Structure 1
Amino acid sequence: DRPKGRRVTKNRWVFDVKTDGRKKARLVAKGYSQIEGLDYDQVFSPVVRFETVRLILALAALEGMHISGLDVRNAYLYGKLDEEIYMEQPEGFKVKGQEHRVLRLLRALYGLKQAGLAWWRTLNESLKELGFTRLVSDAGIFIYKTKDGRFVLVIVYVDDALFCGKDKALVAKLKNRFMKKWECRDLGDVKEFLRMRITRKGDEIHLDQTAYLETVLQRCGMQNAKSVPTPLPAGYKPEPHTGPVDPALRSRYQTVIGSLLYIMLGTRPDICFAVTKLAQQAANPSQDHLDKALYICRYLVGTKFYALVYSGKSGQGVSACTDSDWANDPEIRRSQSGYFMKLANGVFSWLSRRQKTVALSSTEAEYMSLSDCSRQVVWVKMLLKEIDYLLGALPICSDNQGAIFIGSNPVTERRSKHIDIRYHYIRELIEEKQVELFYISTDENPADLFTKNLGRVKFLKFRGMLGLRFYESS
């Protein structure tokens, strides 16, 4: 019977059609009615980072790793609940004559605030029992090591998992042991992960989101739009809208920008600057901002069959490029930082963002960008070290000699003595030989793509240096 003084959680059915055509029905709890401290306490559960997935895929292309995938069926239902939670009987399954009675949940259900954490704890213990160790650098990666130096990596994102390793037999063995513990759907050689299509052609791995991109274009009504060569018109700078907020316009704008953000974060670094700049206007967009967001869609119409390509035969190791655009923001005069990292001749990590403080010179802006990039480089080194790849000093390229000089020498000059101490972190990395700075001319620096709105010629030149290539699978 319904307990007195206890909140009863409602539920609903959610229906979906998967990318492979399967139809799915799922009972979801309405977790928004839960009360913190009574129905749940902690809710955070880690997931693997996008850039980590791309890094492992690039490494797999270089090392010739075998990659196999699986999907845990109804994963959240395995998570055990510590709290006392009651739920109404689901629609279509109510017991006749006992509709007033409720269900006591012993296991997590999709929609509950703590469901993700409950499943994560269960999964973590399960993998530990199988001999896997969770990486410190990314809690979504687990590694199994043998005494003779072989290893298998498991990439986990909620209920999706990839098993990667050079030894195909060992990968299959560990995967089968995992599948005996949980009810899983064996996906075989990986074809898709996080809505990213993964295609292997010889020693190359192609990564694209063509199917999701077509869905976004249809949602925005842009599938038949005329294509354009660049994400934004040359020289365009968005200006803040000071008029009253239009709720309908804002809702549509945020829908478009949110969809573009997912594409950008997944496989399309070429739209990173454009999407980042327009996302800053999401609180109060104007019609002009919406038109420019749809302009990005027009660019994607003509490039929807582009993929990130990681080439094993390239033999290219980890490298980074960084750049900044001084006083890029016309309102608050802050600069724009941008950098990317490459492995196997394809980018796996990129960033474009407004700097947190005002830089008083272009050299200072470049120095701040160098320092931001160096922190990412150190994280990549730590992650690779955990899977037994020991690297020397990683190269970072910059197009500003002054910034390289300040980073390489402990100088305190009149024009640089005020720089925040946090940005001098790069000096320590150089002394410890974790990174090494190199000069690259502005005309040859692809990181320029992440800091400003380039014209067609430069944009197309730098886009080709990122590892993006036209590709349409059969």
Structure 2
Amino acid sequence: MKQPPGYEDPTHPDHVCHLQRSLYGLKQAPRAWFKRLHDFLILAGFKSSKTDVSLFHYTADTSRVYLLIYVDDIIMMGNDETLINTLLQRLATAFKIRDLGKPGFFLGIETIAVNGGLILSQRRYMTDLLNRAGMLDCKPLTTPAAVTVSVSSDASPYENPTQYRRIVGALQYLTITRPDLSYSVNRLCQFMHAPSDDHWSLAKRVLRYIKGTFNFGLRIAPSTSTTIQAFSDSDWAGCPIDRKSTSGYAVFLGTNLISWLSRKQRTVTRSSTEAEYKALADVSAEVTWVVSLLRELGLHSSHPATLWCDNLGATYLCANPVFHARTKHVEIDYHFVRDKVASGDFVVNFVSTKDQLADIFTKPLTGPRFTQLRDKLNVVAHQPCA
């Protein structure tokens, strides 16, 4: 570091400026900003969530207020409008804030009020994405992945890998409100290092599906139930390249989908039971985190979470304490899920494959089957924006 040109001190040429306040663009700026905001909120009576560090909650009698932070964007909600306004005024005494009223557009996600609930939509983001890919006028498709098309191992490298990485990277953010894209985007992300022409064709198919579902978003509706139900599934040895399985799960709070995942497993499994059991272990970890958050906020019911699996072998393993030779190598996952079942936190039940909602996260599906599961995940159409 050197003294700025024109401001050198001839008596102390080796001295540099001492930073008194954090500035935008510096590495420590986000941390310093969050610490200042955190300290103020704690003094104002908020409690910091131990499960999610960006979440704060305030309780006064029956009134509850929740405050969620993303860098310098803040969203506040609660069941007492007077208390919310009071807290906003206190926040304005220490920070220069602008109250935008009810959330309409937050971090690229639009909230549309319908029938007493909300639809979370990223229509503008989808339009921008198609425009960047030069596919704004492409023909739409009904599914994001074809059942019969496979990727060739000897396909020629794609001539513009940077464009592929930009488009697929942008698609990842779209899965925040579009769980129906999770499997296809996860598969595209596996070829970021060396995309081929076939991979770009798969990406264009996803974009054509987006073109036909502009007005789709994730519906959040009032629910009288606060019980947790989770569906987990696995496509055993589904990847033709390394024969690893793909896990998928969907977690519902009442009737609302709150968490989902599509991810390739880290190791090769030796049976479908093992693959399904690893998927159960993944969803168990997620449900444990969700339950911890709900308990912290005082919103958790006393009912155990219900996990649904379409593999009888994996379902039996959760309740049967006897190991056999084929399951010695999954002992860690076994103990984790088994302990949760034994303690009464989870109940693992069998569900038929046709009723398995997580099927959409593990493999390409035909049009009717894909549409059926998409509807059950609360991904619905809404009125076009003006």
Q: Normalised by the size of structure 2, how large is the TM-score?
A: 0.92
Matched, 1:131 2:42: no
Q: Is the 8 A contact 1:241 1:285 kept in 2?
A: no
Paired residue type of 2:283:
C
Q: Is the 8 A contact 1:363 1:402 kept in 2?
A: yes
Matched, 1:428 2:339: yes
Paired residue type of 1:333:
R
Equivalent position to 2:34, from 109, 120, 124: 120
Do the aligned partners of residues 87 and 280 (structure 1) sit closer, same or farther apart at CA in structure 2, a change above 3 Å counting?
farther
3-state DSSP class of the match of 2:325? coil
Matched, 1:385 2:284: no
Residue-by-residue CA offset, 1:23-77 (whole Å, 9 max, x unaligned): xxxxxxxxxxxxxxxxxxxxxxxxxxxxxxxxxxxxxxxxxxxxxxxxxxxxxxx
Aligned match of 1:110: 24
Q: Is the 8 A contact 1:241 1:284 kept in 2?
A: no
Q: Distance in 1 between matches of 2:377 and 2:96?
A: 40
Equivalent position to 2:57, from 143, 146, 154: 143
Paired residue type of 2:239:
D
Aligned match of 1:333: 243
Do the aligned partners of residues 404 and 182 (structure 1) sit closer, same or farther apart at CA in structure 2, a change above 3 Å counting?
same
Paired residue type of 1:158:
V
Paired residue type of 1:200:
A
Aligned match of 2:197: 287
State how 1:200-211 maps to structure 2 within 5 Å.
200-211=113-124
Residue-by-residue CA offset, 1:343-376 (whole Å, 9 max, x unaligned): 3523221111111111111011101100110110
RMSD of equivalent CA atoms = 2.1
Aligned match of 1:169: 82
Equivalent position to 2:283, from 360, 365, 373: 373
Percent identical pairs in the alignment equals 34
Task: Give the drift of 1:236.
Answer: 3.1
Question: Which shifted more, 446-455 or 421-430?
Answer: 421-430
Paired residue type of 2:257:
V
Q: Is the 8 A contact 1:310 1:344 kept in 2?
A: no
Q: Distance in 2 between matches of 1:375 and 1:467?
A: 23
State how 1:17-28 maps to structure 2 within 5 Å.
none
State how 1:333-372 maps to structure 2 within 5 Å.
333-372=243-282
Q: Is the 8 A contact 1:87 1:104 kept in 2?
A: no
Task: Give the drift of 1:139.
Answer: 0.3
Q: Distance in 2 between matches of 1:338 and 1:87?
A: 55
State how 1:461-472 maps to structure 2 within 5 Å.
461-472=372-383
3-state DSSP class of the match of 1:275? helix
Q: Is the 8 A contact 2:231 2:356 kept in 1?
A: yes
Aligned match of 1:196: 109
Q: Distance in 1 between matches of 2:4 and 2:209?
A: 47
Paired residue type of 1:388:
G
3-state DSSP class of the match of 1:189? coil
Paired residue type of 2:114:
K
Aligned match of 2:13: none
Q: Is the 8 A contact 1:209 1:267 kept in 2?
A: yes
Q: Distance in 1 between matches of 2:376 and 2:283?
A: 18
Do the aligned partners of residues 441 and 361 (structure 1) sit closer, same or farther apart at CA in structure 2, a change above 3 Å counting?
same
Task: Give the drift of 1:239.
Answer: 4.8
Do the aligned partners of residues 415 and 224 (structure 1) sit closer, same or farther apart at CA in structure 2, a change above 3 Å counting?
same
Q: Distance in 2 between matches of 1:408 and 1:418?
A: 18
Task: Give the drift of 1:163.
Answer: 1.2
Do the aligned partners of residues 455 and 202 (structure 1) sit closer, same or farther apart at CA in structure 2, a change above 3 Å counting?
closer
The count of corresponding residues between Structure 1 and Structure 2 is 378
Question: Which shifted more, 442-451 or 343-352?
Answer: 343-352
Task: Give the drift of 1:212.
Answer: 0.9
Paired residue type of 2:332:
I
Paired residue type of 1:438:
N
Q: Is the 8 A contact 1:250 1:285 kept in 2?
A: yes
Do the aligned partners of residues 469 and 218 (structure 1) sit closer, same or farther apart at CA in structure 2, a change above 3 Å counting?
same
Matched, 1:411 2:322: yes
Aligned match of 2:135: 222
State how 1:16-55 maps to structure 2 within 5 Å.
none
Q: Is the 8 A contact 2:152 2:198 kept in 1?
A: no
Q: Distance in 1 between matches of 2:228 and 2:171?
A: 27
Aligned match of 1:18: none
Q: Normalised by the size of structure 1, how large is the TM-score?
A: 0.76
Q: Distance in 1 between matches of 2:224 and 2:142?
A: 28
Task: Give the drift of 1:288.
Answer: 1.4
Paired residue type of 1:205:
L
Q: Distance in 1 between matches of 2:236 and 2:277?
A: 11
Aligned match of 1:31: none
Structure 1: tracts of 5 or more residues without a match: 1-5, 8-85, 89-97
Q: Is the 8 A contact 2:155 2:197 kept in 1?
A: no
Q: Is the 8 A contact 1:227 1:300 kept in 2?
A: yes
Paired residue type of 1:115:
A
Do the aligned partners of residues 190 and 241 (structure 1) sit closer, same or farther apart at CA in structure 2, a change above 3 Å counting?
farther
Task: Give the drift of 1:115.
Answer: 1.3
Q: Distance in 1 between matches of 2:62 and 2:324?
A: 50
Task: Give the drift of 1:109.
Answer: 2.6
3-state DSSP class of the match of 2:317? helix
Matched, 1:399 2:310: yes
Aligned match of 1:26: none
Residue-by-residue CA offset, 1:387-435 (whole Å, 9 max, x unaligned): 1123321111110111010011212122223324234301100111111
Residue-by-residue CA offset, 1:113-135 (whole Å, 9 max, x unaligned): 11111111111111111111110
Matched, 1:156 2:69: yes
Moved over 4 A (4+): 98-105, 239-243, 313-316
3-state DSSP class of the match of 1:253? helix
